Structure 1
Amino acid sequence: MPEVMPKEMPEKTALITGAGSGMGLETARLLARDGLAVALLGRRPEPLEAAAEAIRAEGGTALALAADITRTEDVDRALDRVRTEFGPVDILVNSAGSASSVLNPRWLPHEEWREVLDVNLTAVFQLTQAVLPDMLDRATGTIVTVSSLAAVHPNLLGGAAYGAAKAGVRNFMTFLHTTFRDQGLRAITVLPGEADTPILDRRARPPAPEERAAMLRPEDVAEAIRLAVTLPQRVVLQEIVVAPTRPRDTSGDLEISRWAGAPEDTRPRI
């Protein structure tokens, strides 16, 4: 019988957070089709395992890792597993996101504020800190973070905590770019506009299906991420704005968002 050759392992490894749904899932699918080994990181094991199985069914290499990215010990444990299975991380994609249900800082509970900053900002710092030594030692690496146009145009649609967190992470990525680019690190910020992802379900008024139809799709943002990470290492797309061609009227949503979480006696009489 002919000798069975072992399957050749991918040359590069990508670690993707929020990979159980939305932009993270679509990014994982695209990068796996390009031949990268993808490590899928998220809180819920079921969708991660389903995504990994689907990628493997297409001939890709995938590893599902259930972890809370706001916990340092979870991040360290996940990175140890990735290094054991695939080697050092070449590409980190910070796609996980969280938004508060209360948008107005007048009513925003402190716990919701902390939760949004932990997921959107602190977790990005912790994951970056975990992968940075390997990247700098090898003088190559790419870190992509999905921020938001709420970082540039903050308002009640995303809310006070979300806008602040996304602005903070954009600043942090710019810091990485200016500090480590001469050591071979690419730091890339993606700023999407309104996208039809599960996070919209937490809005004070979740958009109707016909409104979502004109929004970005998760795969649109994933394609932008794919472009940024698959270009030659000599090229960095420092910031990428991905927005719907046709903006929608959000004035009604803004007014509803203003009063989400407000005590009944403070709400305007209609």
Structure 2
Amino acid sequence: MKENNSSKKILLIGGGTGMGKATAIYLAKKNHQVIISGRRKEKLDEVASLSSEIYPKQADITDRDSTSRLFSWYQDKFGDLDVLINAAGINIANRTLREISSEEWDKVIRINLTGSFNCLTEALKIMRVKKSGLIIMINSVAGKRATPLAGVAYNASKFGMHALTVSASEEERENGIRITNIYPGEVNTPILEERHSPPSAEHRSKILQPDDIAKVIDHLITLPERVHIPELIIKPNLQSYI
């Protein structure tokens, strides 16, 4: 069975900020080829300027045509896809059923869940051909346990993302494709600014940092292909999980 310690070709969705940005930089330092995608070109270019191993490509995974073009471009330029990482995701300030509008609901579901479906199905088309590949979905502990802090739309989108990827993993395991869900607790990323009361600097220093997630992802990538870790829950020590 082939080991996984060589350089990989990685497509990272949501690579312009937060956990995606940190992961792109960390993996590039490990000599992996990292293609980053997202909606904001200026953010992607900023990250790509930090390493010759990072390549930016603007795309919107909520749009199926845009997603299809992204993967076609990737295949034309880089060929096989070893690893897909989906780090794209949003939340909103209005998180209760009393507050949230239908437009806000649609926005969260479209990016977090439909976007995951769009990039997952495109990646599988490439990986099925070579009978191997690793897909890493950055979910949330909200995909395991719904909480008022995360909000109704975010909780629903992350539970849906969980069901989507677990189903896909079961379907694709005989094709040699592994799918891992990562469920982080609180992470110090820009999404915290979407809360009505963003956390203090002191609180942010005690929760997970984006590099913590990047190191976990690096470990997953280096595991032998015979090893499948379906899911990982990672949280700050101060955060309860009962």
Structures share a fold, TM > 0.5?
yes
Deviation at 1:12, TM superposition (A): 2.9
2:216 is the counterpart of 1:224: yes
- The equivalent of 1:54 in structure 2 is 50
TM-score, length of structure 2 as denominator length:
0.93
Which one of 7, 19, 22 corresponds to residue 18 of structure 2?
Answer: 22
Q: Partners in 2 of 1:144 and 1:105 — Cα distance?
A: 30
Asked if the contact 2:35–2:57 (Cα under 8 Å) also holds between the matched residues in 1, the reply is yes
Asked if the contact 2:15–2:36 (Cα under 8 Å) also holds between the matched residues in 1, the reply is yes
Deviation at 1:107, TM superposition (A): 2.2
Deviation at 1:201, TM superposition (A): 0.2
Asked if the contact 1:17–1:40 (Cα under 8 Å) also holds between the matched residues in 2, the reply is yes
Q: Secondary structure at the match of 2:206?
A: coil
- The equivalent of 1:160 in structure 2 is 152
Asked if the contact 2:94–2:100 (Cα under 8 Å) also holds between the matched residues in 1, the reply is yes
Structure with more relative contact order (C-alpha pairs < 8 Å, separation 6 or more): 2
- The equivalent of 1:267 in structure 2 is none
Deviation at 1:34, TM superposition (A): 2.3
Q: How does 1:127-146 map to 2 (within 5 A)?
A: 127-146=119-138
Q: Partners in 1 of 2:173 and 2:22 — Cα distance?
A: 27
Q: Secondary structure at the match of 1:213?
A: helix
Amino acid aligned to 1:200? L
Deviation at 1:100, TM superposition (A): 1.8
2:37 is the counterpart of 1:38: no
Q: Partners in 2 of 1:46 and 1:107 — Cα distance?
A: 32
Deviation at 1:188, TM superposition (A): 0.3
- The equivalent of 1:234 in structure 2 is 226
Deviation at 1:151, TM superposition (A): 1.5
- The equivalent of 1:119 in structure 2 is 111
Question: Deviation string for 1:84-139 (max 9, x for gaps)?
Answer: 22113221101011112211012210111111111111111111111112211111
Deviation at 1:11, TM superposition (A): 5.3
- The equivalent of 2:90 in structure 1 is 98
Amino acid aligned to 1:44? R
Asked if the contact 1:100–1:113 (Cα under 8 Å) also holds between the matched residues in 2, the reply is no
Asked if the contact 2:185–2:239 (Cα under 8 Å) also holds between the matched residues in 1, the reply is no
Asked if the contact 2:91–2:154 (Cα under 8 Å) also holds between the matched residues in 1, the reply is yes
Asked if the contact 1:200–1:207 (Cα under 8 Å) also holds between the matched residues in 2, the reply is yes
Which one of 42, 51, 58 corresponds to residue 66 of structure 1?
Answer: 58
Q: Partners in 2 of 1:34 and 1:175 — Cα distance?
A: 31
Question: Deviation string for 1:188-223 (max 9, x for gaps)?
Answer: 000000111000000111111111111100111111
Q: How does 1:174-189 map to 2 (within 5 A)?
A: 174-189=166-181
Q: How does 1:230-269 map to 2 (within 5 A)?
A: 230-247=222-239
Q: Partners in 2 of 1:134 and 1:243 — Cα distance?
A: 33
Can you give the 5+ residue segments of structure 1 that lack an aligned partner in the other structure?
1-9, 249-270
Amino acid aligned to 2:33? A
Q: Which moved more, 1:22-31 or 1:195-204?
A: 22-31
Which one of 199, 210, 219 corresponds to residue 207 of structure 1?
Answer: 199
Amino acid aligned to 1:77? R
Asked if the contact 1:194–1:215 (Cα under 8 Å) also holds between the matched residues in 2, the reply is yes
Q: Partners in 1 of 2:208 and 2:12 — Cα distance?
A: 20
Q: CA RMSD in A?
A: 1.4
Can you give the 5+ residue segments of structure 2 that lack an aligned partner in the other structure?
1-5
Q: Partners in 2 of 1:11 and 1:197 — Cα distance?
A: 28
Asked if the contact 1:224–1:240 (Cα under 8 Å) also holds between the matched residues in 2, the reply is no
Asked if the contact 1:140–1:184 (Cα under 8 Å) also holds between the matched residues in 2, the reply is yes
